[in-house]
Amino acid sequence: MDRFVQFLRRQLDIDLELLRVAREDAETGSTRACLITPIRGFRECELKARLLTTHHHCGSGEGPCDALGESYPPEDERGCPTRALLGLPYADRPGYSARWRP
């Protein structure tokens, strides 16, 4: 596994642990500050917006996943696996369709 992937997986593990602590604090009424900051939230929104822009045309024949043969058929609103995964964090929001799950 290359160093970049190792770095990213480690960061995800750290974030998951921080979120577990924050959830535990919320459940127990603890007042410790959550260590995942709003700045992180903004960065993650920027990441998702950039990925969505890159994959905007997937499934139409004009996207990068179309060129790779990895897009979904035109009738599938998700477009490609990347777009489907971008929707996953919002699966509990009103308007999310169960058929959009990756």
What minimum distance in Å lies between the beta carbon of 7 and Zn ion?
24
Asked if residues 50 and 64 have their Cβ atoms less than 8 Å apart, the reply is: no
Stretch that binds Zn ion, among 17-25, 35-43, 50-58, 92-100 (CB under 5 A): 50-58
Asked if residues 69 and 63 have their Cβ atoms less than 8 Å apart, the reply is: no
CA distance 66 to 82: 12
CA distance 77 to 89: 17
Stretch that binds Zn ion, among 19-27, 38-46, 80-88, 94-102 (CB under 5 A): 80-88
List the one residue from 45, 61, 82, 85 that touches Zn ion (CB under 5 A).
Answer: 82
Q: Which is nearer to Zn ion, 46 or 70 (CB)?
A: 70
80, amino acid identity: C
Closest CA to 54 of 73, 90, 96, 82: 82
Stretch that binds Zn ion, among 2-10, 42-50, 53-61, 91-99 (CB under 5 A): 53-61
Binding residues for Zn ion, per CB under 5 A? 55, 58, 65, 80, 82
